[in-house]
């Protein structure tokens, strides 16, 4: 498995699933609050394409979480 994907999966407490018969992939995991989640199935002709798409997906999610945390911190500082 791609090392970057492995690192992202560890950081996000996620698992990567690739179905070579159907040429689809999905992610599943647990949130910080302990809630389970799973993405829809996405098409990918190869494992490499699926891994790269999963990297893009997880990176986008982490960027959104980081932005939300920074916004919350800025708001908390403004209210102090």
- Direct distance between the N- and C-terminal alpha carbons of the chain, in angstroms, rounded to an integer: 46
The proportion of the chain whose per-residue pLDDT surpasses 70, expressed as a percent, equals: 100
Which residue ranges make up each domain of the chain?
A: 3-79
Beta-bridge partners for 24? 19, 43
Beta-bridge partners for 26? 17
Task: Calculate the dihedral angle through the C-alpha atoms of 29, 34, 4, 42, rounding to the nearest 10 degrees.
Answer: 30
Tens of pLDDT, residue by residue over 28-66, are: 999 888 899 999 999 999 999 999 999 999 999 888 887
**pTM greater than 0.95:** no
């Amino acid at each position: 498995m791609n090392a970057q994907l492995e690192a992202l999966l560890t950081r996000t407490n996620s698992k990567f699933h690739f179905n070579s018969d159907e040429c689809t992939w999905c992610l599943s995991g647990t949130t910080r609050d302990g809630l389970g989640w799973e993405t829809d199935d996405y098409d990918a002709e190869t494992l490499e394409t699926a891994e790269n798409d999963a990297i893009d997906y997880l990176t986008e999610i982490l960027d959104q979480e980081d932005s939300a945390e920074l916004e919350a911190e800025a708001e908390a500082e403004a209210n102090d």
